[in-house]
Amino acid sequence: MAYPGIRAAVADRRARAVSVSRAIHADPELALREHRSSALLQDWLRDEGFTVAAGVAGLDTAFVGEWGTGRPRIAFMAEYDALPGIGHACGHNLIASGGLLAAAAVRAELERTGAAGTVVVIGTPGEEGAGGKVIELDAGVFDGVDAAMMFHPADRTILTRRMLACLHFDVHFHGVAAHAAKNPADGRSALAAMLLFFNGVDALRQHAGDGSRMHGIITDGGQAPNIVPEHTSATFIVRDVTLERAQALAERVYEVARGAAAMTGTRTEIVPTSPPYAHLNSNHTMAARVGEHLATLGHPHEAPSPTDGTGSTDAGNVSLAVPTVHPFMQIADRGTPGHSRVFAQASGTERAEEAMVAMATALAGLGWDLFTSPTLLAEATEEFRAGGHDPAAALEAVIA
């Protein structure tokens, strides 16, 4: 990666990127409530000369920054929400700051050279279970975007990785309260229904397809031990390698809930809590170019395994609408689990900041390539239109 202009622009903005990342890391805000983080990022964009629209798609903490005119329109996505109780254990402080660093560097190089095109920065709140990108997609925020990119911190550097489709929903059971000692026969236990439901889901695991995941927690187990619980609730996530498979698996989970209600004389209610997340359709054309840039920066990558355990992202929905790349960058020792206190600590280290700057440089290089190489953009678009890569087929090939 030669690109002296891109490297210089990144170097000029490195201090601010680190400062912003540290500020967001030190002040974690939950999904759709990232007011201070969003404002910090918007201020940076305005200082870079971007025109910023706040509160897009009806989301208070979403924003879109634009600089330039005409096509292509290349989008850099930023996530900045944290996790309940453990802060930035998914490294979204690095995603946000690194995304803006890459976009600002490309903007500077476009201005310096006079090259045509529009740099778009999309602030995407609520990735952790609220589906901000899906809401933005439905509102037209990604309309006219020719390609989109972001990165995610990890324990390994991988260019493309299987990310599961998922559905988020709450399960409620409604029973009848009664004195648990004096007249329990008059009650209908919503807690008994909930326990049967969890046991039923565990029994279902053996018969779910390879690559599926089901997990939940009880959020209301009743109010007192001497009252037959009239209400219980749980929040659940069901995942699978494609959205179609995740939806089919969720229907089986719903049947388990209905069965538990029938056995206990209670009533069940299923309430979706976010839009469905699609599987990630990584654009291998763009990912390969990111890998080339990372290699020249001294950051080799490793090949993914289709059987790797993994999570989900609402960037999957974007990847089915726009050519999208979503590489993973190592910021911690191999084996460090995401969504853990150890990973939250790692996301605020100098090691993570160096990795963020390197990946931002690589993404800026890709962005510059897309602006200045119509052939590369055409190849990425052709791959996207051909349907990309089938994660279910890849998994089945490995298992076979």
Domain boundaries, the chain: 4-163+279-397, 165-272
Cβ burial of 227 (10 Å; 0-12, 13-18, 19+) is: middle
CB atoms within 10 A of CB 199: 12
Q: Alpha helices, DSSP H only, in 215-306?
A: 243-264, 284-296
Q: What is the pLDDT of residue 310?
A: 77
pLDDT in tens, 73-91: 999 999 999 999 999 999 9
Does the pLDDT of residue 388 top 80, yes or no?
A: no
Q: What is the pLDDT of residue 209?
A: 84
Fold of 165-272: Alpha-Beta Plaits (3.30.70)
**DSSP assignment of 93-143:** HHHHHHHHHHHHHHHHHHHHHT--EEEEEEE---TTTT-HHHHHHHTTTTT
Tokens 């990795």: give the residue: 355
Tokens 């397809």: give the residue: 209
At 167 the three-state DSSP class reads: strand
Predicted confidence band of residue 309 (pLDDT cuts 50, 70, 90): low
pLDDT in tens, 198-234: 999 999 999 998 889 999 999 999 999 999 999 999 9
Domain 4-163+279-397 belongs to what architecture? 3-Layer(aba) Sandwich (3.40)
| Closest residue by Cα to residue 34 from 101, 133, 127 | 127
At 370 the three-state DSSP class reads: helix
The Cα angle at residue 317 between residues 160 and 305, in degrees rounded to 5: 25
Tokens 């805000």: give the residue: 29
Q: Is the dihedral of CA 78, 83, 88, 89 positive or negative?
A: negative
Share of the chain above pLDDT 90, in %: 92
Q: Are 233 and 221 in contact (CB under 8 A)?
A: no
Predicted confidence band of residue 305 (pLDDT cuts 50, 70, 90): confident
Work out the mean pLDDT of the chain and round it to a whole number. Answer: 94
| Average pLDDT estimate for 58-75 | 98
Q: What is the pLDDT of residue 389?
A: 57
The one-letter amino acid code at 239 reads R
The one-letter amino acid code at 337 reads P
> Quick one: which H or E segment has residue 211?
none
